[in-house]
Structure 1
């Protein structure tokens, strides 16, 4: 079956359900109607019998010629008519003996449930030749009036009435179903079809902005669905364009990765010769330069096609955190920076259990962000620009804070602060630094967050301590 097609559409289902519900309602209405028709039919016969009794009372000697009695009974449609007037019973019958009846119907005190039951019995029971006895309330001075009639005419009349009801019900059902179908198709089914068609068109080409739905001005749930779908499609289209750009960027990175790794390896070999120099300052920086080049080579080897690194599982070991912070400060040239005051408040005895290479990258990214913000805006209220790194053990976890007194993080950047290409806090930045730092911290089982601060920005890194089993 072709995609998007179903055996029975929503419109057809609604039409069939409407017809079924209307027919069900007509059935519920039919039963009281046919019972009422039966009652009225019998009351009409009783009224005609009452007239016949009055004629009989006005006749001389309360007797009529046999031919007149036959015409009266034929007009009533009864075999016999009886009434009690003033304690005396009047009988009008062509038979000397009253016929045997199949059932007695007393309309004087019959309930609706009894009437419904007897009406259904007449319709469903097989026809028979035996008459029925009907008793009803009389008019004038008579106590009651009763007749003996054949049931077949009543059954035929009820069947004709039922056929008419069925025909009218079908017409009402078709008309009602048609009107409901048109209304629902205009108000619900049509817009839902447009939503479904738009979703399938957008699925075929999600990066095409012309496939994004144009919401209508409806204020109901369908209008809300259209607006929500439009927002989702715009967000998804933007994400897909970003991922496509990243894929293209990753392809370009993968092409240059091999050559870059070779150049870094060559630089590392040449840097090895700096160890033998007589310059004390160069000899002090040479091991760190060689280690940095080694990390860069490993980083290039781990570069993926999407332009970012697939980070390895951290190799945890105990390190002196203060020394690691000092090394990153030297990498950024903070000791020689006269425009910025750097304070390393990490206790010398504090030992951190982490991957030193990955934690060095976390510190470097956080500290570089602060340096860039301070270099661009300076300290708060024209004070001396200051970068501070603190750390402490609290409740078995390591809490590290990198803070500055710069302009702080803009409000617009806080929502996507740790997302690549979306959380940049500097003009023209990519936001990769914070994204990489967040990923490395998560690999350690920790958490990174921006703490509220009245001055500057404070980034807090929380790393878990040792597990109870010593791991």
Structure 2
């Protein structure tokens, strides 16, 4: 699609064809690249979450390591002790070797009928922990594992397990707690080192992936916002769509649409500002010219000519209105329309004045019918009612003048009637009517209808003036041609807005 009204007659290309002035690889300001930014937070959170997962894995792992360590020691001690006990006598050298291999302080076997002490290095100290692997549960294993890790001292641990050979029912081994504690701590350090390596690798992969998928596109959107904000009226700064088929792609589409709408709106505002400045300049000089024309006309009033005598007052009244309008234009943007100065007036006479100003009685091929009853009175501001009917009748006149076919009926009809406390007025013409595409914005300023050369203010002015009276105006689409209906309530009354 294209947008009209750009400077120098340029047209705005579609978003997909617009050159991208935003460099997506441009460096962000330093404050946006610090560790506290989205990228840094993403990296830190990834490392923390991976470490948390490793902790959850470590807890059962260290308990399993402890149980395996104990079972290995008990199995080794039990098998070796059962073999050696077959000889009924164990040499001191073999006992020492068995204790050194298992790290135990004392080893005994339960044969059911008798209990045999296989080897003992010295008289055991007080035993701090007793562990029966046959009755061990996962939860108790975890608790005792951490008790072992944080234990301080030189106490002993007694471990009992079922025998693996022959008549041996239980193997009972006593060994220093520090021996198991050292191996568990070494295992913990290995787990920690491996977890750090896994965390760093995982965090790096996640960071690179998410940065490419989310962070960089978000940075591009941010840069595009900054670039567009520098000159929002420049349509070439609208973000270029990448064609992504995800939520970020939707965000790009919506941002492009928003930027385009804002750019068009600013262009329209700038055009209105330029138009207002031009109108103010023209109006200033026009007011002086109208004042001069009034002076000349006042001199002509003394000329003894019947035609001059008849037309001069009407021309002078028209010039007075023109001067009043120019003063109102000079105050446009500073204040609203003045509040209606209501008086009782003959609407039929106002219609005749409108027809004289537009030259309808002398218009070739266009009939004007003033069907307003002469006795009908309306409670309204005379000048504002005159402006309303003048704008509507001028629109009808311009629409009918565009018709070149002499066989067509060209007629403007003004009708009115009082219903209770409200006067209903209609201005109807036999023209081509109003296209459907312009009806939605019919009463908005600068939305011209079908006639050429219009600037779209007549209906907007009529609607505003009627609203000030508490009335309304609407297009009657059931009538062939164009028919505007006005409702002017008496003072103290107001009409509900038409749905």
- 5 Å matches for 1:120-269? 120-123=146-149, 125-140=150-165, 142-269=168-295
- Which residue pairs with 1:328 in the alignment? 354
- Which residue pairs with 2:22 in the alignment? none
CA contact (8 A) 2:81 2:109 kept: yes
C-alpha separation between the residues in 1 aligned to 2:107 and 2:485? 106
CA gap 1:386/1:437 in 2 versus in 1, 3 angstroms:
closer
CA contact (8 A) 2:109 2:115 kept: yes
The alpha-carbon deviation at position 76 of structure 1 amounts to 1.7
- Which residue pairs with 2:6 in the alignment? none
- 5 Å matches for 1:346-385? 349=376, 351-352=378-379, 354-377=380-403, 385=411
C-alpha separation between the residues in 2 aligned to 1:189 and 1:68? 68
Q: Establish whether residue 302 from structure 1 lines up as the match of residue 305 from structure 2.
A: no
Gaps spanning 5+ residues in structure 2: where? 1-27, 495-499
CA contact (8 A) 1:388 1:404 kept: no
- Which residue pairs with 2:39 in the alignment? 11
Q: Establish whether residue 433 from structure 1 lines up as the match of residue 442 from structure 2.
A: no
C-alpha separation between the residues in 2 aligned to 1:235 and 1:407? 33
- Which residue pairs with 2:60 in the alignment? 32
C-alpha separation between the residues in 1 aligned to 2:334 and 2:480? 33
Q: Supply the RMSD in Å over aligned alpha carbons.
A: 3.8
C-alpha separation between the residues in 2 aligned to 1:251 and 1:77? 101
- TM normalised by structure 2 equals 0.77
CA gap 1:295/1:108 in 2 versus in 1, 3 angstroms:
farther
CA gap 1:118/1:426 in 2 versus in 1, 3 angstroms:
farther
Secondary structure of 1:103's aligned partner: strand
CA gap 1:340/1:67 in 2 versus in 1, 3 angstroms:
farther
Deviations 1:65-94 (A, max 9, x none): 233223222222222234434454344341
The alpha-carbon deviation at position 134 of structure 1 amounts to 2.4
C-alpha separation between the residues in 2 aligned to 1:4 and 1:438? 55
Deviations 1:385-422 (A, max 9, x none): 4545556658x877665454533332332444334334
CA contact (8 A) 1:425 1:431 kept: no
CA contact (8 A) 2:340 2:468 kept: no
Deviations 1:97-134 (A, max 9, x none): 654221223333433333333333333x2421111222
Q: Establish whether residue 407 from structure 1 lines up as the match of residue 435 from structure 2.
A: no
CA contact (8 A) 1:371 1:387 kept: no
- TM normalised by structure 1 equals 0.81
Secondary structure of 1:162's aligned partner: helix
Secondary structure of 2:131's aligned partner: strand
The alpha-carbon deviation at position 320 of structure 1 amounts to 4.4
CA gap 1:135/1:319 in 2 versus in 1, 3 angstroms:
farther
Secondary structure of 2:128's aligned partner: coil
Deviations 1:207-246 (A, max 9, x none): 3333222211212122222222222333332332333333
C-alpha separation between the residues in 2 aligned to 1:130 and 1:119? 15
Q: Establish whether residue 339 from structure 1 lines up as the match of residue 339 from structure 2.
A: no
Deviations 1:163-190 (A, max 9, x none): 2222222222221222222222222222
- 5 Å matches for 1:264-303? 264-271=290-297, 289-303=315-329
C-alpha separation between the residues in 2 aligned to 1:310 and 1:199? 35
- Which residue pairs with 1:60 in the alignment? 87
CA contact (8 A) 2:354 2:386 kept: yes
